[in-house]
Amino acid sequence: MAPRAPAGATSLTTHRPESSSDSLNRVQKKQSGLRQLRIQANFTNLPSIDSVPFATRISRAIPQPKTDFAISIYPIHVKAIVEGRKDHEYRKYSLPATRMWIYETAPISAIRYRAVISKGKRSGELQECHLRIERNRLFNEGHGESAKLYAHEILELHQLKQPLTLASMISRGWIKGAPQKYCWMAADMVAELEDGMKKLK
């Protein structure tokens, strides 16, 4: 029979030294737990699906073709377009699509019109019916810098139901600032603006 330990003596327990595999398992479990906490925190901060407009959810889920763009034009030239005294938009580059949303610079600072335009034309390609406008005639004859420009015929002109100001576009995250060259329009933005438009041309 094994001798009993003296009264009041402390019982000692022998511990097996931790192996390298035990240490690795313990570290992996800790890392896994931290990873789960981070994932839960990220999902907690996500907005509810119900708080995101339906059109926005669709546009984010499905790749959208680039069909609409916004471009800056001075108000004096926009007025000439509306009045029919300007029927081509001239640029040093060919515009990227046929649906052009016109951003009027200060003091208007808003989008009020959308045009449907032709592909860029070069000098000598304008039809006779457009040469009554002196700017078109000079371009077609290749005077001055005209040979370096592209002319985009304004085929249709539509007026928005309500002007869309630059401040409103920025606050809604649709645009970061006034178009410098041109900027693409998001599908949900186009869908909202097209509602109630009036055709002028």
Which residues, other chains included, contact 145 with Cβ-Cβ below 8 Å and sequence gap of 6+?
A: none
Interhelix angle 54-61/187-194, rounded to 10 degrees, is 140
What architecture is the 69-199 domain classified under in CATH? Roll (2.30)
> How many Cβ atoms from other residues are within 10 Å of residue 124's Cβ?
11
Distance (Å, whole) CA 103 – CA 71? 6
Encoding tokens for residue 21? Answer: 């595999």
Would you say 164 and 110 are in contact if contact means Cβ atoms under 8 Å apart?
A: yes
Q: Residue 98's pLDDT is what?
A: 94
Which residues, other chains included, contact 161 with Cβ-Cβ below 8 Å and sequence gap of 6+?
A: 195, 196, 197, 198
Q: What is the pLDDT along the chain (201 residues), one digit of tens a residue?
A: 545 545 544 444 444 555 656 665 665 666 666 566 555 545 445 444 455 454 444 444 455 568 899 999 999 999 999 999 999 999 999 999 999 999 999 999 999 999 999 999 999 999 999 999 999 999 999 988 888 999 999 999 999 999 999 999 999 888 888 998 899 998 888 998 988 899 998
Which residues, other chains included, contact 139 with Cβ-Cβ below 8 Å and sequence gap of 6+?
A: 88, 90, 123, 126, 146, 149, 151
The β-bridge relationship of strands 68-73 and 99-104 is: parallel
CA 92 → CA 83, 100, 130, distances in Å?
Answer: 24, 16, 20
Would you say 58 and 52 are in contact if contact means Cβ atoms under 8 Å apart?
A: no
